[in-house]
Amino acid sequence: MRRGAVLAAALTLASFSGCAAGLEPLDRPGPGGPSPDDDTAPGDDDTVPPPETCDDGVDDDGDGLVDCLDDDCALHPGCAGECLSAGTLGCGDAIEAATDGFLATDAVDAWSCAAADTSGPELGFTFDAASAARVTFRLASAADLSLFVLSAASPCTGETCLAGGSTELEIDAEAGASYRVIVEGEGGASGAFTLAADCAETAPEDCGNGLDDDGDGQADCDDPDCEGQPACAAPACTPDIEIACDQYDDWSNDGPGSTDVIDSWPCSSWDESGPEYAYRFLPDRSATAVVTLSGLSADLDLAVLDGTGAACDPAACLGIGDIGATFPVSAGDVYYLVVDGYQGAVSDYRLTVACD
């Protein structure tokens, strides 16, 4: 057989074998016909859904879950372990939203200020207090939701709440402070809600009038608002004059320059409810100081204080004597000598300081 005849036979056999394997003929498009790669071809459906955008309030990938509720957003910075703020809530506002909607998260399943199961998604808002006010947050929903409040300065996690676990919360907001108000789903619940804030401005606490001015149940120095205020500072004697070794002074414990702020001393159990008169004692030499009271018509006592801290602080009391005291002194050190009235006593006296 000639070589050309052999090749022709082989080609014939190959063509026959291909048809037997079920191969389809080439679909060559005619003029105006569809291309096999054309998405408009009948039966062609190779559309790929877009990825989920985790902060746009849209179910981008069409899986029924929005933003942080979609597992695709688990590693998104806004969805990793903290609730988010969906907006600002102000006094008199009423906001309608949903815990399974825009900017909802499912980051907190337990709160330190309530024992409820809060495994549902949550939605947060920011509340800024322009002035001191008693603020009542009210939540209305057909779903099993509850409120939690925390400082905006704290991370939005379950360990930082100030109050929570109910549908109505009341706080005493500080002027200039910001708070997070969180609507949380109990037992996995989620749904629509209305959140409102009502504010009643409170008067600042007057720390010395005996009244609960701001209505928080604590008056004057018992109110934390008065911490550091002069009226609530620890009582301290006020030295009126300096005295040195080998000097004396004739005076009265209720005379000009006296005070009546100390009723007891840490170094004694005596009732020293009378007025007191204080001296700043500056010894010019190291010695043993002998300080005595004489010429009394009532029971006065003498308290000796270490003046190292530069304040006449009762906590620095070294001792107290009935009619005087004896103690070692060092040149250049400062001491305070305080004449006080036992059980409210008032009397003239002579105070004598000798240094041996």
Specify if 306 maps to a domain. yes
In this prediction, residue 79 has a pLDDT band, given cuts at 50, 70 and 90, of low
DSSP SS3 for 186: helix
Q: Does residue 182 or residue 82 have the better pLDDT? A: 182
Over residues 159-169, mean pLDDT: 91
Over residues 90-114, mean pLDDT: 91
Residue 134 has pLDDT above 80, yes or no: yes
Residues 175, 260, single domain; the answer is: no
Domain of 102: which CATH number?
2.60.120.380
Say if CB 134 and CB 159 are below 8 A apart.
Answer: no
Over residues 311-334, mean pLDDT: 92
Residues 160, 98, single domain; the answer is: yes
Q: How many CB atoms lie within 10 A of CB 247?
A: 14
Specify if 283 maps to a domain. yes
Residues 251, 339, single domain; the answer is: yes
Instruction: Give the domain extent around 101.
Output: 81-201
Q: What is the mean pLDDT of the chain?
A: 84
Residues 254, 192, single domain; the answer is: no
Residue 167 has pLDDT above 50, yes or no: yes
Which string of b and e fits 296-323 if b means at least 16 CB within 10 Å?
eeeebbbbbbebeeebbbbebbeebbee
- The last residue of one of the domains, among 174, 201, 228, is 201
Residues 187, 98, single domain; the answer is: yes
- The last residue of one of the domains, among 139, 171, 201, is 201
Domain of 251: which CATH number?
2.60.120
Per-residue confidence (pLDDT) for residue 309, from 0 to 100:
74
Specify if 232 maps to a domain. no
Specify if 229 maps to a domain. no
In this prediction, residue 296 has a pLDDT band, given cuts at 50, 70 and 90, of very high
Residue 2 has pLDDT above 70, yes or no: no
Over residues 300-324, mean pLDDT: 90
Specify if 305 maps to a domain. yes
Q: Tens digits of per-residue pLDDT, 38-71?
A: 544 444 455 678 888 887 878 888 888 887 777 7
Residues 183, 253, single domain; the answer is: no
Task: Please state, in angstroms and rounded to a whole number, the distance separating the CA atoms of residues 295 and 313.
Answer: 27
Residues 247, 339, single domain; the answer is: yes
Specify if 25 maps to a domain. no
Residue 338 has pLDDT above 50, yes or no: yes
Say if CB 148 and CB 164 are below 8 A apart.
Answer: yes
Residue 24 has pLDDT above 50, yes or no: yes
Residues 245, 175, single domain; the answer is: no
Residue 6 has pLDDT above 50, yes or no: no
Number of domains the chain is built from: 2
Residues 96, 185, single domain; the answer is: yes
Residues 156, 251, single domain; the answer is: no
Over residues 99-108, mean pLDDT: 87
- The last residue of one of the domains, among 201, 220, 253, is 201
Residues 135, 244, single domain; the answer is: no
